[in-house]
Amino acid sequence: MLDNDFTHVFKNQKILVTGGTGTVGRAIVEQLLTYDPKVVRVFSRDESKQFAMAHDLNHHPKLRFLIGDVRDAKRIQYAMEDIDIVFHCAGMKHVPACEYNPFEAVKTNVIGTQNLIEAVFKENVKKVIFTGTDKAANPTNTMGATKLLAERLISSANYYKGSRAATFTSIRFGNVMGSRGSVIPLFRRQIEKGGPVTVTDGAITRFMMTTRDAVTLVFMATALAQGGEVFTLKMPALRLGDLIDVMIENLAPKFGYDPSEIRIEQIGLRPGEKPYEEILTQADAENAYENDFMYITPPVLMKGEFSSHYPGCRKVEERTYTSNDFPLLTREEIKDLLESEGLLEGKDGLKSLLMLHKVPDIEVIKELLAE
């Protein structure tokens, strides 16, 4: 388990988390509270989720809940008053919803991000971290395209900020296990009902990461960011068919079914969906660097030798990086991973995905943060 201490980054800081009641946003908020910030403002549209979150966190004295939408430029500016660090997690993230409502995705993911950038300038925020998606690499759907444009807006903000101190950086996530955008809760509900389990295609491959890993990546990027980079965790990949088989084998008996009774139904790719995911395109790789646990892609406007910013980095091989290019998790590894997140009602304790896949230990990370 990685037990990172980012107190030196967040202690006494005033922090805003947009989309703070979502899966990743809430996990960020909960972890931030352990690092002694001055205040954490949770900004979202959903009052019911805010009410539940406040109750779950025992009405923590350093939490403030703000109703609002990033589409509303004035509201996001008011929410950002006197803030030091912004985690921008708000966005439309479901591929079909964005595909059938494309301009709604533009208004939230693109215009909302630009509203946030302009509010950062007006309120003299020091650091902004945008949480994006691997679907922004060579996008084939509206969600990915709007997230790529949001990435570019965040990166370019470093170049027209003038004398302002703000640093902007982006992060590409894979599928966060157990989140509302993940297939895992859907598969679980279908198994609980006795099937069938519907899958686009069992041969599809996807990158997967735990919520814990997502938060670790966000905080490491906050500490390491020079401005304009895109950080991407080196995530393991799996085949959806293997994921389904593991879930059926382990969950069906708990819901009173024989695993052989649960039927699997292939329904074909959804509009805009790819049979694999990409984390770096060929164009990204021409300028990207890596260390043992993440890829770092400098902004297209950055000149000079990027590795000088991070002495421990090395240039990546110039190729496309897809979920088909990496060793796929075995079914036993998938089972361990699901159990670590409590998604199979498994063993007590957590086994970190980061440690499973050869990410350096805390001492290595501390050395990188100290440079």
Catalytic residue ranges = 135
Residue where the block lists tokens 């990949």: 237
Q: In what order do the strands lie in the sheet with 167-173?
A: 63-67, 39-44, 14-18, 85-88, 127-133, 167-173, 230-233, 294-297, 289-290, 314-315
CA distance 307 to 272: 35
How many angstroms from the chain centroid is the CA of residue 160? 26
C-alpha dist (Å) from residue 113 to 8, 66, 82? 28, 18, 19
CA distance 44 to 286: 37
Tell me the longest C-alpha to C-alpha distance in the chain.
65
How many angstroms from the chain centroid is the CA of residue 265? 29
Please give the backbone phi and psi of residue 360, each rounded to the nearest 5 degrees, phi first: -60, 155
